[in-house]
């Protein structure tokens, strides 16, 4: 067995194990961390396929940013685990049907009929100086330009939707304006007033009164 095969089987096993732990773990923070492990393992599998740009961007975007925000939210939620499990038996038949349908749908697309060894020739290994970033850039900005722009618009729609959900009208409450805070001068805040010197009345020494 070659080294690549050993690496593939080890990380594929970790990938499947952590993916099943994502759904079976009780603690939602742990489930999120297992999902992170999942992403890291699949990044390594992509690396084995010489798709290093995709592998690194998977780590950079999903592990480094998206899952951090996920974890951020999950940590602050107060999840009631007992309530989550309460309807388990009642919804089990329905859930099994849905799961079967989803599995059938996915299998019809990515079954071994379409992606088996017969359907695809073994990809040729590329020389060391081959840069798949350049290839990918050329493809994205020429052949796949239209889908690429559509995906960008989709993200824009998501941003607009998120902002409109959280927008609470124009800001009429009192807020700090940092540009004002920075622009403040001493002259705006402090006024020095010239006063004539005042001579205090000479009070009787208190110590003398106490000693008498």
Among 15, 35, 36, 38, binds another protein (CB under 8 A): 36
Question: Interface with another protein includes 38 (CB under 8 A)?
Answer: no
**CA–CA gap between residue 78 and residue 138 (Å, rounded):** 47
Question: Interface with another protein includes 29 (CB under 8 A)?
Answer: yes
Question: Interface with another protein includes 133 (CB under 8 A)?
Answer: yes
Among 69, 125, 153, 193, binds another protein (CB under 8 A): 69
Determine the interface stretch with another protein among 8-16, 64-72, 142-150, 184-192 (rule: CB under 8 A). 64-72
Nearest distance in Å: CB 23, another protein: 19
Question: Interface with another protein includes 10 (CB under 8 A)?
Answer: no
Among 16, 60, 92, 106, binds another protein (CB under 8 A): 60
**CA–CA gap between residue 10 and residue 161 (Å, rounded):** 41
- DSSP H stretches of helix in the chain: 3-24, 28-48, 52-57, 67-76, 81-85, 88-110, 112-115, 132-141, 145-166, 178-183, 186-189, 206-211
Return all residues near 119 (Cβ < 8 A) that are at least 6 apart: 113
**CA–CA gap between residue 162 and residue 165 (Å, rounded):** 5
Nearer to another protein, 24 or 191 (CB): 24
Among 20, 131, 138, 139, binds another protein (CB under 8 A): 131
């Amino acid at each position: 067995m070659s080294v690549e095969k050993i690496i593939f089987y080890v990380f594929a096993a970790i990938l499947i194990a952590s993916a099943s732990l994502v759904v079976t773990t009780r603690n939602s923070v742990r489930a999120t961390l297992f999902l992170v492990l999942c992403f890291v393992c699949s990044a390594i599998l992509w690396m084995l396929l010489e798709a290093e740009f995709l592998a690194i961007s998977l780590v950079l975007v999903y592990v480094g940013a998206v899952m951090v925000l996920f974890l951020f939210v999950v940590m602050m939620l107060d999840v009631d685990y007992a309530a989550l499990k309460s309807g388990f038996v009642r919804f089990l038949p329905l859930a099994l049907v849905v799961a079967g349908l989803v599995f059938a749908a996915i299998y019809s697309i990515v079954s071994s009929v379409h992606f088996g060894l017969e359907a695809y020739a073994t990809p040729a290994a590329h020389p060391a100086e081959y840069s798949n970033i350049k290839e990918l850039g050329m493809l994205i900005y020429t052949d796949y330009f239209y889908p690429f722009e559509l995906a960008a618009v989709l993200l824009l729609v998501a941003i607009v939707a998120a902002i409109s959900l959280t927008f609470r009208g124009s800001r009429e409450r009192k807020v700090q304006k940092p540009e004002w805070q920075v622009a403040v001068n001493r002259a705006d805040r402090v006024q020095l007033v010239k006063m004539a010197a005042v001579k205090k009345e000479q009070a009787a020494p208190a110590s003398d009164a106490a000693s008498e």
